Amino acid sequence: MAVEVQPERAEPVSASTKPYFRRMGVHTGLAGAVAGYFLGHWLGNFLSSGYLQNPLSDSNDVPIVLGYALATIGWLLGLGVFNDLFGTMLGRPFPDREAADGAEAGLGKYFRFTLNHKTVGIQYLFGMIGYFLTGGLFAMAIRTELLSPSYHIMGPNQYLMVVGEHGTMMMMMMSSVVLGPFGQYFGPIMIGSKRVAFPRLEALGFWLTPAAFVILLSGILFGGFPTGWTGYEPLATEAKQGMDSFFFAFGLMAVSMTLAGFNMICTVINYRAPGMRWGRLPMFVWSMFSVSFLQVLSAPVLLGACYMALTDRTFQTAFFTNQLGGSSYLYEDLFWFFGHPEVYILALPGFGVISEIVSVFCRKPLFGYRVAAAGMLGVGLLSFFVWQHHLFDSGINPDMRPVFMLTTELISIPTGFIYLVGMGTFWKARIRFSIPMLFALAFYFNFLIGGISGVFLSDVPADVTEHGSFFVMAHFHYTIMGGLIFAFMGGIYYWLPKMLGIKLNETLGKVHFWTMFIFFNSTFLPLFALGLMGMPRRVFEYANNLQTLNDWVSISSYCLGVSMLIFLFNVVMSTLFWRQREAGNPYRARSLEWQVPTPVPPANFERIPVILASPYEYGDPDAPPVADLNPPPGVVSSAYVGASRGEA
């Protein structure tokens, strides 16, 4: 009996089908963006002619918004995003070039529009590190201002601008901090695929992120925005031109998230290798799959909210303008319908990364595999039923408060399932305290504090008291930075030997971990006390009796920043100078990405593998290999029928 296998991909493209305009890249993209912006700005001034002005902010936003729009189009044209499309319209053959792009040597491919998912993953990796460090610099500026309750280094408007840039940068860009680098690079390999479903959408999703990054920073030139990362109306409608950068950049990220999520869903459903049943799917892929649904369902709502806000500012519509019959409360609902699933878009990938690390370094099967998978799906479902707990103090109908308080408390159940799976895996394990495992342990410690503090904020009386205070800020930093960023760092130390074939320095890695862990807690744990003592968010003057704790937090934040510099130094030196090569499987991991050679071949696999077992069967001497990487070409023999995808 035989089962037909997934068809093999075509051989690398010939010279006649190579991409057109091969020399296009970031340099031509920048030229296109600059030309597009000035053209759009001129055209906007011409079209508005002084009469299409925002009457509430007394500013003309049309040139700015049209400049951003044409700059984005010019950026994509300059990168060569549409070259294959234009070539096909001219009658040229449509190139199938993912493997050829992956085989290209040199650093130049990382600065071009490329279709190989591994190259895109590395582009995401260094892009997200850059975005994160930029947001961290804004955080340092905030803590410097808060060293004194009365002496100021910036005015109130400048302080709000810095707060808004920091919060928006972190929440906007960190949405892709795991799904981008690790999801795009390892997702297809972990399911036994040679490619992603839509490589052009995948690459487009990445190249929208630098455009959003630059547009967000450009808001500083126009006075910034006073709304923080939420963009609340009616303050947003009354803000100056810097507000346009917030809405346009967030809208671009919403498009990027939607494209990335759609591509991942299609890849996981349709490109799993024979034998990769749902019950054998790696936990990291489960997290990517769940998060992708959250992105596809929630990010378009954010895009709609940003679009409506921009039309209020440019075309004098009245979606959110109370004076003209709109509703600023509508914006809050739309934003948080995205904003709360966004929290789990950040949290669930962290659990996926940590689940992979924990099983490897405990040398045990993942405890409660199905429970963890069900927990991720449950979190994804319930995350759409809790958004109005952000509005407990914003005019919500009092009769609705108990409903959203209940749903918020219910979501802790599937989250707890995922957490307890890790605790069960630790039980009676012989743990290897490698650097990735240290970050995994820190993840569980930090997330526990974030989760417990979240229970307080789900309760209406407590939330009304603590809303808008530093208590809330401490809670979401423990949940997001203490969870996602620690998982991201653990993932870098765990997977970088596979991605680049280079192992980071162990000594510097441990110094980085301990300084980051100690000073993270030293920075954010006192914020709970500050919040309970009455310290509000987004203010730069505070009571004198709060200065000692604020100074402690600021000094700790500087030390936390130093830990990031240690990490950056380790990456630069290990990548460019020390170059300690790692070509094997240093962790003796069973998951499929560690079974292929390093560096990973351009097409991932010589032939589509057949999956024979779960990646978590550690400690079982009779466990079969996770896959046969060289099955008979074209068909799968009867020995593989029981493992075939047809019985998934």
Return the pLDDT at 52. 55
* pLDDT tens per residue, range 94-147: 777 776 777 777 788 899 999 999 999 999 999 999 999 999 999 999 999 999
* pLDDT tens per residue, range 212-252: 999 999 999 998 999 989 999 888 988 989 999 999 999 99
Instruction: Tell me the C-alpha distance between 207 and 80, whole Å.
Output: 11
Contact criterion met (CB below 8 Å) for 222 and 41: no
- Residue 448 has a CB neighbour count (10 Å cut-off) of 15
What pTM, to 2 d.p., does this model score? 0.92
Residues 6+ apart with CB under 8 A from 190: 282, 284, 285, 591, 592, 593, 615
User: What integer is the mean pLDDT of 457-471?
Assistant: 89
Return the pLDDT at 598. 86
Contact criterion met (CB below 8 Å) for 376 and 288: no
Instruction: Tell me the C-alpha distance between 605 and 609, whole Å.
Output: 7
Residues 6+ apart with CB under 8 A from 308: 317, 319, 320, 331, 334
Helix (H) or strand (E) holding 611: strand 610-611
Helix (H) or strand (E) holding 4: strand 3-4
Residue position matching structure tokens 């914020």 = 527
Contact criterion met (CB below 8 Å) for 552 and 526: yes
Return the pLDDT at 8. 45
**Six-digit token pair at 352?**
């996926």
The terminus-to-terminus CA distance of the chain in angstroms comes to: 18
Return the pLDDT at 647. 37
Return the pLDDT at 634. 61
Return the pLDDT at 643. 40
Which range has the worst mean pLDDT, 88-97, 228-237, 450-459? 88-97
Residue position matching structure tokens 């006649």 = 16
Which range has the worst mean pLDDT, 97-111, 486-500, 524-538, 598-612? 97-111
- pLDDT(177) > 60: yes
Query: Could you tell me the CA-to-CA distances from 48 to 314, 318, 424 in Å, in that order?
Result: 9, 18, 63
Domain boundaries, the chain: 24-84
Instruction: Tell me the C-alpha distance between 142 and 136, whole Å.
Output: 10
* pLDDT tens per residue, range 317-357: 889 988 888 899 999 999 999 998 988 988 899 999 999 99
Residues 6+ apart with CB under 8 A from 251: 302, 303, 306, 307, 310
Q: What is the mean pLDDT of the chain?
A: 88
